[in-house]
Amino acid sequence: MKFNDILLLAFRTVRSNKLRTGLTVTIIAFGIMALVGIITAIKAMNQKFTESFSSMGANGFTIRFKERNTNFGSNRADGLTVSKKGKKEKQSNLNKVITKEEAQYFISHYHFPGAVAGISVFGGGGNVFSFNAKKTNPNVTLLVGDEKYLYLNSFKLAYGRNFTSGEITGGQNTCLLGLDVAKLFFGEALEKGVNTTIRINNIPYKVLGILEGKGSTFGFSRDNIAIIGYENWNRNFSKPNASYMLAVKVNDIKQLDAAMGEAESLFRSVRKNNSTEESNFILDKSDSTVQTLMNVLRYIRWAAIVIGIITLLGAAIGLMNIMLVAVSERTKEVGLVKALGGKKQSVKIQFLLEAIIISILGALLGIILGIIVGNMFSLVLSTGFVVPWDWVLYGIVICTIVGLAAGIYPALKAGRLNPIDALRYE
């Protein structure tokens, strides 16, 4: 018999045993559905986490002052410190805060491809805002930055516009209001707040825009804020020994380490750290949370693979039993095929093909169900439609192997049947 004839015969046999085929296909489909469904859900979570962490700054880092413990006798007028051995040593610049001039120099000389860098400084809490007869509690946080501050810290404007570079460098009295402050002053008509004049600690400021809400974290509102330019803050609210901070964001998280290396090298020269001296600043990145959660997802992925393999192992045993039953039921059929000149090899191939066809049908059904179930989770997360193409291929390959493994023994048993004994079988 030709291979095409054997294949058509296998298809015909599978189709004629609808109940048996349906049950076996369902068992296999559930194993693949569990595997592909969880993998699809994990890919959806990965996509959501990537978007969320990018907005939280996981693809960026900050440079800030490294505070140091001060020992007795370190603040000497002669600039000397006393070591444990009693010797006088010249004090280094390790305890110097990051100045505005250093931050500006870094911004103008840092040119990593695709990176955006900006200046900021913490303006402090306890500020009072007023508009006409309305006044806030003395608990509004003042955030200070440049025109890139919104992008680097993932703020979005609901109304109005961002600062211009001219307004930042010119130190103009302009501000952006957080949602809580804006609602207190303007109610639900937030758009009316744009271009109005409010007072921050009794200093008049023009409102350029209203920020979208960011909610609360651990009970602290992230909307009870206002943002002003750093040059303006330096003129109106500057504090002694205030340390500026630099934020950098890259397009691709894979470039983060390279961007940090270049930033550290440049800023060490800005801070005049010699080759034997440790850096008097810290580079912080936010990917530790990313790595932790990605590791959790990796464990879930492996759990899904184990569950799928166990289910498929049970399906393989079930398929083998069904094929053995089929051999017993079709003993006369096998004897007739052999009596008419059919070869042992043709009988083996037919039974193997039947097992593989049933397995692949189960794989296709399981893949479709798995993608549907997994993307129901992606709908909850509001991510795009996800198809794990690699696991679609893996699922088909795995089920083909399962079909081969489950069909080998029944095929060998069918191939060894004696045609005379088979024709006599009742």
- pLDDT tens-digit profile of 118-144? 999 999 888 999 999 999 999 899 999
Retrieve residue 307's tokens.
């569950």
Contact 84, 426 (CB under 8 A): no
Is residue 340 over pLDDT 60? no
The amino acid that residue 123 corresponds to is: G
Element (H, E) at 344: helix 344-381
Q: Which of 212, 156, 149 is nearest to 179 (CA)?
A: 212
The amino acid that residue 184 corresponds to is: L
Q: What angle do CA 243, 280, 229 make, to 5 degrees?
A: 20
**Cα 103 from chain centroid (whole Å):** 31
In whole angstroms, what is the distance from residue 294 CA to residue 116 CA? 26
In whole angstroms, what is the distance from residue 208 CA to residue 204 CA? 13
Predicted local distance difference test score (pLDDT) of residue 37: 79
Q: Any residues with CB less than 8 A from the CB of 29 and at least 6 apart, and which?
A: 362, 363, 365, 366, 369
Contact 100, 65 (CB under 8 A): no
Distances (CA, A) of 274 to 46, 99, 271, 284: 42, 19, 9, 21
The amino acid that residue 350 corresponds to is: Q
Is residue 337 over pLDDT 70? no
**Highest mean predicted confidence (pLDDT) among 7-16, 260-269, 392-401:** 260-269
Predicted local distance difference test score (pLDDT) of residue 232: 95
Other Cβ atoms within 10 Å of 172 Cβ, number: 18
Element (H, E) at 285: strand 281-285
418 in helix, strand or coil?
coil
In whole angstroms, what is the distance from residue 198 CA to residue 188 CA? 17
Tell me the residue length of the chain: 426
Q: How far apart are the first and last CA of the chain?
A: 26
245-249 and 60-65 strand pairing: antiparallel
Quick one: 220 exposed, middle or buried, by C-beta within 10 A (0-12, 13-18, 19+)?
Answer: exposed
Retrieve residue 212's tokens.
């979208």
Q: Which tens digit of pLDDT belongs to each residue from 229-246? A: 999 999 999 888 889 999
Q: Any residues with CB less than 8 A from the CB of 365 and at least 6 apart, and which?
A: 25, 26, 28, 29, 32, 33
Contact 138, 127 (CB under 8 A): yes
Higher pLDDT, 302 or 197: 197
Is residue 352 over pLDDT 80? no
Contact 293, 49 (CB under 8 A): yes
Please state at what angle helix 287-329 crosses helix 344-381, rounded to 10 degrees.
150
pTM (2 decimals)?
0.55
Predicted local distance difference test score (pLDDT) of residue 211: 95
Find the range with the poorest average confidence among 148-152, 263-267, 303-307, 327-331. Answer: 327-331
Quick one: 424 exposed, middle or buried, by C-beta within 10 A (0-12, 13-18, 19+)?
Answer: exposed
Quick one: 265 exposed, middle or buried, by C-beta within 10 A (0-12, 13-18, 19+)?
Answer: exposed
Higher pLDDT, 380 or 286: 380
Sign of CA dihedral 408, 411, 416, 421: positive
